[in-house]
């Protein structure tokens, strides 16, 4: 039984925690076996600094 798959998107302000970079957003979509989008969720996290150009 094929149940589809999930796609995770993890956004950061950079790759150096020592320089203050942080994770800022996590997104998730569930894709059905036929490729249609079934559900999606996103949330902002650690947004206590400027995220710079986006």
Q: Which residues pair with 42 in a beta bridge?
A: 27
- C-alpha to C-alpha distance for 46 and 7, rounded to whole angstroms: 21
pLDDT value of residue 50: 64
pLDDT tens digits along 4-54? 999 999 998 889 989 988 888 999 999 999 999 999 999 988 666 666 666
Roughly how many angstroms between the first and final C-alpha of the chain, as a whole number? 40
Lookup: tokens for 39: 């559900």
């Amino acid at each position: 039984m094929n149940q589809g798959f999930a796609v995770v998107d993890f956004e950061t302000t950079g790759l150096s925690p020592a320089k203050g970079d942080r994770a800022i957003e996590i997104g998730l979509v569930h894709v059905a076996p036929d490729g249609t989008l079934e559900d999606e969720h996103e949330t902002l996290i650690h947004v206590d600094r400027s995220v710079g150009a986006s």
